[in-house]
Structure 1
Amino acid sequence: MTNTMWMRGVEWAAAAAADPHACESEWDRGEGIALLEAGRFWDVLSVPDRLGLLAMDLLWRPARPSPGPTLVDTAAGRVGFFLPPDPSAGWGGAGLRYATKGSWVAVPPPYRPARFLEWLVPPDGTGALHEPGALEAALRRASGTLAVLAPLCGG
Structure 2
Amino acid sequence: MSTLARVPPHVLGGRWLAGVTSRPGQIQGHWRCGLPAPVQVSCRFDVVMVVGAALTRAVLDELNGSGQVIGPVLYDHDAETSSWLVPVRPGAAWQMPSTVLMTAPADGREPPLVSLPAPGVGRVGALEWLVQPDGSGTLTRHSDLAVALRRARPALKISSPRSQTCPAPARRPDPDPNRSVRRAR
Same fold (TM over 0.5): yes
Residue 52 of structure 1 aligns to a residue in which SS? Answer: helix
| Closer/same/farther in 2, CA of residues 77 and 133 from structure 1, 3 Å limit | same
Cα distance in 2 for residues equivalent to 1:54 and 1:120: 13
| Closer/same/farther in 2, CA of residues 39 and 3 from structure 1, 3 Å limit | same
- Tell me by how many angstroms 1:71 deviates: 0.6
C-alpha contact 2:27 2:38 (8 A) present in aligned 1: no
Aligned residues: 150
TM-score normalised by length of structure 2: 0.73
Deviations 1:3-24 (A, max 9, x none): 4322210011112345211211
Match of 2:44 among 37, 41, 46: 41
| Closer/same/farther in 2, CA of residues 148 and 8 from structure 1, 3 Å limit | closer
TM-score normalised by length of structure 1: 0.85
C-alpha contact 1:36 1:105 (8 A) present in aligned 2: yes
Q: What is the identity, as a one-letter code, of the residue corresponding to 1:143?
A: R
Match of 2:173 in 1: none
- The reply on whether 1:131 has 2:126 as its aligned counterpart is no
- The reply on whether 1:94 has 2:97 as its aligned counterpart is yes
Match of 1:54 in 2: 58
Which segment drifts farther, 46-55 or 121-130? 46-55
Of all paired residues, the percent bearing the same amino acid is 29
Which segment drifts farther, 17-26 or 95-104? 17-26
Tell me, which stretches of 5 or more residues in structure 1 are unaligned?
none
Cα distance in 2 for residues equivalent to 1:36 and 1:136: 24
- Tell me by how many angstroms 1:65 deviates: 4.9
Cα distance in 2 for residues equivalent to 1:17 and 1:40: 7
Cα distance in 1 for residues equivalent to 2:25 and 2:143: 34
Tell me, which stretches of 5 or more residues in structure 2 are unaligned?
1-5, 105-110, 166-180
Aligned-pair RMSD on alpha carbons?
Answer: 2.3
| Closer/same/farther in 2, CA of residues 7 and 148 from structure 1, 3 Å limit | closer
